[in-house]
Amino acid sequence: MDIEVLDFDRKVNRLVFAARDTTGAFVNALRRTVANEVPVMAVEDVEVRKNSSVLYDEVIAHRLGLVPLKTDLESYTLPEECKCGGAGCARCQAKLTLVADDAGIVYSEMMKPKDPKVKPVFSGMPIVKLLKGQKLEVEVTAVLGKGKAHVKWKPGLLYYKHYPVIRMSGEIKDASLVERFPDVFEQKGGRVVVKEAGFAKSHLTDSIDELSGGAVSVQEKEDDFVVYLESWGQLDCKEILESAVKILDAKLDSFKEELTRKA
Ligand SMILES: [Zn+2]
C-alpha cells in the first residue's frame, strides 16, 4: 500500500490522505476501528453536590459527558483491563471538579482537572446558565471507553471515497469557478482547468459534471482511496491512526491464534 498525505490541517485536527493499492475492505476495517475501538477519555460518573440551576442533574451530567477531554493513552488504561479490576484507581480514572456560583453561563473550561493532562479540549462549550443566587457544584470521574459503547468515547470520524480520475471532454466555460473553488479550479493559459490534487481531496466529486457544464467527467480508481480523518480533539490524527492500526493488528493476531488452535 502507498500512502500520500494530501492535506493536514493541525488547527482543526483534520487529515486527508490517499491510500493506493489497497481494498475497500481494508479501508472500511480502519474506519470501523476508529469509530468503535480507539479509546478516549470521557466523563462517566457525575457526583452532583449542589445544583440549583434550571437544568436537572441528568441533563447536566449528559452535557458534561459530551465535553471532549484530552486523552493520554500512555498513562491510562481501560477500566476493564486495569489491575484494580475496574474498581477505580489512578491508572483508570481521572477526576475533575466544577464549581460555579456567579450569574452567567458556565463553560467547559471551568471544569478543573486533578490531572492537568485530562482537561476539556475546547473552552467556550456552554454547560448551563446560572441566575443570581444559583449554584452548581459537581465532581466528575472520567474514564477511557470505546465508541461502540457510547458516542462520547468516539475519537473522531473517518470516511473515504474512491480516488477520482478526471476526464476532460471539452472546455470549462464558467470562469467564476476559479473564485468559488480556488482549491479545485485554476486559470491556465486563459482556460479554466481542474487542479488534480485539489480535486482529489475536495467534496465536489459528484457535482463536478454539472459545475463544469459537462466538460469534466469523473471515473473512480478501484484500488485507490481518499481517506478523511477528522479528530474531535481528544487525540491528534496521528495518535488515532496509530492506535487503530495497533488494535486491528492485535485483533488479527488473536484471530490467527484461535484459528491455529482450532484447526
Ligand atoms: Zn484501575
Of the candidates 216, 187, 224, 186, the one whose C-alpha atom is nearest the C-alpha of residue 18 is 224
- Cα 145 to ligand 1 centroid, rounded to whole Å: 13
Report the CATH number at residue 175: 3.30.1360.10
CA of 141 to the centre of ligand 1 (A): 12
- What residues does the ion ligand 1 have nearby, CB within 5 Å? 82, 84, 89, 91-92
Question: Ligand 1 centre from 70 Cα, in Å?
Answer: 19
**Amino acid identity, position 189:** G
What are 116-139's pLDDT values in tens digits?
Answer: 999 999 999 999 999 999 999 999
**pTM, entire model:** 0.89
pLDDT for the residue numbered 263: 81
At 92, which CATH number? 2.170.120.12
Whether 135 and 47 share a structural domain? yes
Q: Name the percent of the chain lying above pLDDT 90.
A: 81
What average pLDDT does range 151-159 have in this prediction? 97
CA–centroid distance, 86 to ligand 1, in Å, is 6
Summarize pLDDT for 97-118 with one digit per residue, the tens: 999 999 999 999 999 999 999 9
Same domain, yes or no: 144 and 45: yes
Q: Is residue 170 scored above 90 in pLDDT?
A: no
Closest CA to 200 of 241, 228, 172: 228
| Ligand 1: centre distance to CA 110 (Å) | 26
Asked whether residue 167 carries a pLDDT value surpassing 90, the answer given is no
Inside any domain, residue 249: no
Domain of 200 in residue numbering reads as: 2-36+156-230
Instruction: Please report the pLDDT score of residue 208 as a whole number.
Output: 87
CA of 144 to the centre of ligand 1 (A): 11
How far CA 177 is from CA of 167, 185, 198, in Å, comes to: 18, 6, 13
Number of domains in the chain: 2
**Residue 77 located in a structural domain:** yes
Distance between Cα 178 and ligand 1 center (Å): 56
- Is the pLDDT score of 197 beyond 90? no
Å from CA of 50 to ligand 1 middle: 28
Computed over every residue of the chain, the mean pLDDT equals 95
- Whether the per-residue pLDDT at 204 is higher than 90: the answer is no
* Stretch 220-237: mean pLDDT: 96
Nine-digit cell at 156? Answer: 473522531
The grid coordinates listed for 138 are: 459537581
DSSP assignment of 161-179: EEEEEEEE-S-B--THHHH
153 CA to middle of ligand 1, Å?
18
In a domain, 254, yes or no: no
Between CA 124 and CA 120 the distance in angstroms is 10
80 Cα: distance to centroid of ligand 1 (angstroms): 8
Residue 198 domain-assigned? Answer: yes
Last residue of a domain, one of 121, 148, 175: 148
